[in-house]
Amino acid sequence: MSSKRKDNKGRVLHNGEYQQSNGRYCYKYYDGTGKARYLYSWRLDKNDRMPDGKRQGKSLREQEQELQATQFGHIALDGGNLTVLELVRRYTATKIGVRESTKAGYQTTINFLEKDPFGQRRIDTIKISDAKLWLITLQQRQEKGYSTIHTIRGILRPAFRLAYDDDLIRRNPFDFELATVIVNDSVTREAITRDQERKYLEFVKQDKHFSRYYEGIFILFNTGLRISEFVGLTTKNIDFKHHKIIVDHQLIRSSKMQYMIEEPKTESGVREIPMSEEVEAAFRAILAKRVKPKVEPMIDGYSGFLYLDKNNMPMVALHWEKYFQHILQKYNSIYKVQMPKVTPPCMQTYLLLQNGKEWHESQEPAVYHGTLGYQRYTEHIHSCKIRGCRGGDEEGCSNLNGLNTTKSTGGGLGVCAPFSSKI
């Protein structure tokens, strides 16, 4: 019978343990793939004294206990050797059927992690404090905005949850409230004033170059349409007989210049919007000016788009965003009193104007959500414009129909203006 192996102090070594000639202890084991792995320490037991000149660390048997606990819990000791970047790629690969805008957000985060050292870190080495400090660094040193960091963390959090579910890590290091870590420095967006709306539209109407877009901008100001919904409108979506706009899709163009039709962002996005006389007149003007191409572009079965670019393809959100940018630059280069930034809405914000009254969806979700709620709002706006009433004043407007209003921070607002200004 062979004698048991002992260290230089005469202590019996367990299976897998041995002591090197320099006195350092080693433990050999095999991972789930059959690959040999090693643990090292200058101490066998936690009560051993660390040799002079050696960095303090856990003893070999303390490491063995952790290993056993990890293996018993079926947790991969090394996080599957996945880096943060590799994990995010794995996670996004599981997200099938998401919107094109969501895919673009995924790719933006991946591109960022490819350049940032954090993306190369192994997922099992990241602690909650590491995740928090990294986000703080993004804001304070790299000067990333709160919304950008919110987007990045919004992808990393479920990605690490996936790793947790796959038994690759013991805890999700991004499972915390973002607002407790970094400062929300997002710029508050408030509606432009009624006077600013009037001046803006008048400027566009009188400008030799931008006047061609006047009707489209007027419609956006007066309907609450998302820009992607507006560019997706076809001639069949404008019902002049019943004086309504039929919204049942939106037009998207990917970063790879691929055009596609998607459903509205929410279920309540499928709706019919009553047209005021002014809005109806604007649509008729657009159709009258529209030059019919030799071949109508067709996107996923839809054709007859209202605005086409120089290549006879439907205009997309990016076109209009550039128009707004250039209009603002030209306006502010001419007039001393500057116009605040006007942008297409990225989410529906419907404002009941006059006297600073604003309708908050959070106050009356049952009224706001769905086609009926939207119709009640737009019908109110339509009726008010016809009657010459611009508002949410209970005494001056009897057509509120029970819609909940609350004091706005924006002041006198233009009718149903979905645009906002950065303050």
Burial class (CB in 10 A: 0-12, 13-18, 19+), 273: buried
Q: Give the pLDDT score at 278.
A: 95
Task: Inform me whether the pLDDT recorded for 396 exceeds 50.
Answer: no
299 — pLDDT class (breaks 50, 70, 90): very high
The yes-or-no verdict on residue 155 having pLDDT over 50 is: yes
- The predicted model gives 335-351 an average pLDDT of 62
Tell me: pLDDT of 353 over 80: no
Poorest-confidence range of 6-10, 28-32, 146-150?
A: 28-32
Q: Per-residue pLDDT tens for 90-102?
A: 999 999 878 877 8
**What is the reported pLDDT for 187?**
61
Q: How confident is the model at residue 84 (pLDDT cuts 50, 70, 90)?
A: very high
Position 67 confidence tier, pLDDT thresholds 50, 70, 90: confident
% of residues, the chain, pLDDT over 70: 75
> With the C-alpha atoms ordered 95, 96, 101, 103, is the resulting torsion angle positive or negative?
positive
pLDDT exceeds cutoff 70 at 146? yes
Q: Which residue has tokens 């590799």?
A: 86
Residue 175 has pLDDT above 90, yes or no: yes
Of all helices (H) and strands (E), which one includes residue 40?
strand 36-41
Of 35-49, 145-159, 236-250, 373-387, where does mean pLDDT reach its minimum? 373-387
Whether 10 shows a pLDDT value over 70: the answer reads yes
356: confidence class by pLDDT, cuts 50, 70, 90: very low
- What confidence category does residue 170 fall into, taking pLDDT thresholds of 50, 70 and 90? confident
Instruction: Note whether 123 and 83 are within 8 A (CB).
Output: yes
| pLDDT at 28 > cutoff 80 | yes
CA distance 136 to 125: 18
Asked if the model's pLDDT at residue 403 lies above 60, the reply is no
Give 228-254 pLDDT, tens digit per residue: 999 999 999 999 999 999 999 999 888
- Burial-class residue 381 by CB neighbours within 10 Å (0-12, 13-18, 19+): buried
Q: Are 247 and 301 in contact (CB under 8 A)?
A: no
Domains of the chain and any CATH numbers: 17-73 (3.30.160.60), 82-180 (1.10.150.130), 189-422 (1.10.443)
332's tokens: 């502010």
Q: Is the pLDDT of residue 378 over 50?
A: no
What is the Cα–Cα distance from 84 to 122, expressed in whole angstroms? Answer: 6
Q: pTM for this one?
A: 0.57
What pLDDT band is residue 29 in, cutting at 50, 70 and 90? Answer: confident
Statement: residue 178 has pLDDT above 80:
yes
pLDDT band for position 400 (50/70/90)?
very low
With cut-offs at 50, 70 and 90, classify the pLDDT of residue 1.
very low
Q: What is the pLDDT of residue 75?
A: 59
Q: pLDDT tens, 196-210?
A: 889 999 999 999 999
Structure-token pair, residue 117: 């050292």
pLDDT grade, residue 190 (50/70/90)? low
* Average pLDDT of the chain, as a whole number: 79
**Residues 177, 180, 185, 187: is their CA dihedral positive or negative?**
positive
Whether the CB-CB separation of 407 and 190 falls below 8 Å is answered with no
Is the pLDDT score of 339 beyond 70?
yes
